[in-house]
Chains A and B, each alone.
Chain A
Amino acid sequence: DGGITQSPKYLFRKEGQNVTLSCEQNLNHDAMYWYRQDPGQGLRLIYYSQIVNDFQKGDIAEGYSVSREKKESFPLTVTSAQKNPTAFYLCASSTASGVSSYNEQFFGPGTRLTVL
């Protein structure tokens, strides 16, 4: 079965703690993404990576960090510097695309993070 997995499904964090959200894909996709979704909002891009050992900040990278040591894996760490981390976090992947290419994103099931 090809797809994207995220774990855990639910995560609770105390203030001041760092937590890491897992994202794994077996679709052989080059590009991976992390989004944050707040109630009634669209998806906001946190970080993305188009190749192993390289990643770029998205629109709301402050308070987050990522790594891309393997093609299949793109974990996201929510640090204590992120002041309002309660949200639904979505990981996605796609084939890397060039100019004028169709570039569908496939999403994992999401992790719901709550700060206690």
Chain B
Amino acid sequence: QKEVEQNSGPLSVPEGAIASLNCTYSDRGSQSFFWYRQYSGKSPELIMFIYSNGDKEDGRFTAQLNKASQYVSLLIRDSQPSDSATYLCAVNISGGSYIPTFGRGTSLIVHP
């Protein structure tokens, strides 16, 4: 069973702080990694993707990938209450079909 693991949280951070969300995966052949944000009752929306080791920055968001340790993380700088949502990690596992496997998501609460 190829798995994607996330701490369900909730992760609570004060407004303006850095929120750090982590995701580990079991398949060493995984090639593409995605972070989706899902507000309560809504559908997921892509906020970041990464497929090379290292950091990728987009505005307040930074995705970090370490294939040797099999983890991918998402940092949110200057967290805002509007960032409060569930963050889903998705991994395109190897094997040809490249259907992403989703983690259960981490609930983030940013309090004023």
CB-based contact A43/B49 at 8 Å: no
CB-based contact B100/A108 at 8 Å: no
CB-based contact A102/B32 at 8 Å: yes
User: Min CB distance, A10 to chain B, in Å?
Assistant: 11
- A109 located at the interface, meaning its Cβ lies under 8 Å from any Cβ of chain B in the complex: yes
A109 to B104, CA, bound (A): 19
- 1/0 contact string of B22-60 vs chain A (CB within 8 Å): 000000000110100000001111100101000000000
CB-based contact A104/B46 at 8 Å: yes
User: Min CB distance, B21 to chain A, in Å?
Assistant: 14
Residues of A in contact, count (CB < 8 Å): 26
CB-based contact A105/B32 at 8 Å: no
Q: Which residues of B contact A (CB under 8 A)?
A: 4, 6, 8, 31-32, 34, 42-46, 49, 51, 88, 90, 92, 96-100, 102-105
CB-based contact B104/A40 at 8 Å: yes
User: Min CB distance, A68 to chain B, in Å?
Assistant: 15
CB-based contact B42/A43 at 8 Å: no
Residues of B within 8 A of A44 (CB): 102
Q: Which residues of A contact B (CB under 8 A)?
A: 33, 35, 40-45, 48, 50, 56, 58, 90, 97, 99-110
Q: Known: A102-B32, A103-B32. Contact between A42 and B42, CB under 8 A?
A: no
User: Min CB distance, B99 to chain A, in Å?
Assistant: 6
CB-based contact A105/B46 at 8 Å: yes
Q: Known: A102-B32, A103-B32. Contact between A42 and B102, CB under 8 A?
A: yes
CB-based contact A101/B99 at 8 Å: no
A96 to B43, CA, bound (A): 21
CB-based contact B8/A103 at 8 Å: no
CB-based contact A43/B92 at 8 Å: no
CB-based contact A43/B88 at 8 Å: yes
User: Min CB distance, A48 to chain B, in Å?
Assistant: 6
A104 to B34, CA, bound (A): 8
Contact of A45 among B42, B51, B98, B99 (CB under 8 A): B99
Residues of A within 8 A of B102 (CB): 35, 42-44
